Amino acid sequence: MRAFFSTLGLLLFAFGCAEGTAPAGGAGGGTTSNAAGGNGGDATGAGGPSGGGVSQGGDGNGGVATTDGGGGSGTGAHGGEGGGGALEQACPANEFATGFDAGGVIQCAPIEPSVVSAVNNGCDIFYGIRDGCGACSDPPTKWGRVNGATCANGVGADNTCSSATIGGQNVGLFGLNADGDVDDNDKLYAGFMCDAGVPDEGPGPCDSSGEAVVGYDGAQVTCAKTGAAALDYMRASCSLYVGWRDTCGACTDAPSKWGYAGSQACSAGSGAGNTCVSTVLGGETVPLLGIDFDGDVDENDKLYFGLHCAGATEASGPQPVDCPDGQFLVGTHADGTVECESPAPQIAAYVAQHCTAYIGFRDSCGACTTMPAKYGRVREGFCSNDAGVDNTCTTANLAGQAVSLFGLSTDGNVNDDDKLYIGFKCD
């Protein structure tokens, strides 16, 4: 993708010294006639003198970047003036430009740290319940939200925020307390909402911990926040899947009722009484999936959860100065153009391996902040039952997508002294 070094670029690069410091250009070698002029040095080196001789010296080639052209010398008519140029260079794989040094040499860094920060602070799971609802499309009466950095109880007595160490990660958990027996007239709500990415483009220098170059004219850079690209990917590509199955216990069957919700879409999937509503929760309009239970939710039922993100399409290519929206600079060409690339495939790969939903349950808890007694975690292509008899991991084809699902088996009737936990974190 980034193998765009031309033969000319490699030859130019060979004259440079480490750290972008270049030697002066060599003198022309002719001594009798039509001697070639010396090449200008790379970066800030001065151009070499033209060749001496009894006839006209050849034109000197200009040095790369800010190099001065070679001047005339010898007994010939004159040496040619050197022209301007640019470095043919590229960032290492999976890195993006953060700036250029005084010699025009590209500086690069990975974007994963800004991806983690942006997603942990900007993507929330919403979790709620409503009694006496059935197939209604009303919003939840009790709900809360949690992301990789914070947790908040939106509305509802005995809901809690706590933390627990699961799978080696310290994770914030929202605990949803149901009011009364959870049965066929109750509805469980879930949503996954990410903030819109705001690139905040502006002149450099770039903050290498959270910005990368999106424009370069040979002298000045324009910077943008890399976390914005991560949030844009999450909004367009990721959804939380939730489902339910009666009389399942330790079974690994797919849910009989299910749906999914993301930042920009919600689907009631399969099952009578399931709903999708957009409602304002904590000042945000959130697409919410509502799962309608059939009968009591007890020890022979299973609640399913999955986090699925679609892949990303590669996009790259040369541009005169500025990268297209959503792309960052990864190199420069000898003709002065810049090479741009979308970070979306790299973001997608990182999210699939590091961004996880955490699910749990505890009986006889009420308003307690104790960690769940049964719990597991799930992300793209991964599921783990960390604690709890009859919990399961399975993969189901839902709406044409192969979705990894953690199946939570509750112990006894789920009622007002039980707690359902959920969390989300990128590590």
Query: Looking at residue 11, what is its pLDDT?
Result: 31
Domain boundaries, the chain: 1-85, 96-110+198-224+313-345, 114-197+228-311+350-426
**How far from 372 is each of 224, 375, 410, 420, CA to CA, in Å?**
41, 6, 11, 8
Cis peptide before 205 (omega within 30 of 0): yes
Query: Looking at residue 207, what is its pLDDT?
Result: 95
Query: Looking at residue 86, what is its pLDDT?
Result: 86
Query: Looking at residue 85, what is its pLDDT?
Result: 63
**Cβ within 8 Å of residue 106, ≥6 positions away:** 87, 89, 90, 91, 97, 99, 100, 331, 332
- Beta bridge mates, 242: 259, 305
Query: Looking at residue 110, what is its pLDDT?
Result: 97
Sign of CA dihedral 334, 336, 337, 338: positive
**How far from 100 is each of 89, 300, 330, CA to CA, in Å?**
11, 62, 12
Query: Looking at residue 18, what is its pLDDT?
Result: 34
- pLDDT string in tens for the chain (427-residue length): 444 333 333 333 333 333 333 333 333 333 333 333 344 344 333 334 433 333 333 444 444 443 333 333 333 333 333 344 689 999 999 999 999 999 999 999 999 999 999 999 999 999 999 999 988 999 999 999 999 999 999 999 999 999 999 999 999 999 999 888 999 999 999 999 999 999 999 999 999 999 999 999 999 999 999 999 999 999 999 999 999 999 998 999 999 999 999 999 999 999 999 999 999 999 999 999 999 999 899 999 999 999 999 999 999 999 999 999 999 999 999 999 999 999 999 999 999 999 999 999 999 998 999 999 999 999 999 999 999 999 999 999 999 999 999 999 998 899 999 999 999 999 9
Query: Looking at residue 249, what is its pLDDT?
Result: 86
Amino acid 175 reads G
Contacts 24+ apart (CB under 8 A), 59-65: 60/25, 60/28, 61/25, 61/37, 63/22, 63/25, 63/39, 64/12, 64/15, 64/16, 64/22, 64/40, 64/104, 64/334, 65/103, 65/104, 65/218
Measured CA to CA, the distance from residue 344 to residue 335 in angstroms comes to 27
Burial of 141 (0-12, 13-18, 19+ CB in 10 A): middle
Across 101-168, where does the E strand assignment appear?
106-109, 123-130, 142-146, 151-155, 160-166
Residue 38 near residue 59 (C-beta atoms within 8 A): no
Closest alpha carbon to 28 in 56, 65, 63: 56
Query: Looking at residue 9, what is its pLDDT?
Result: 36
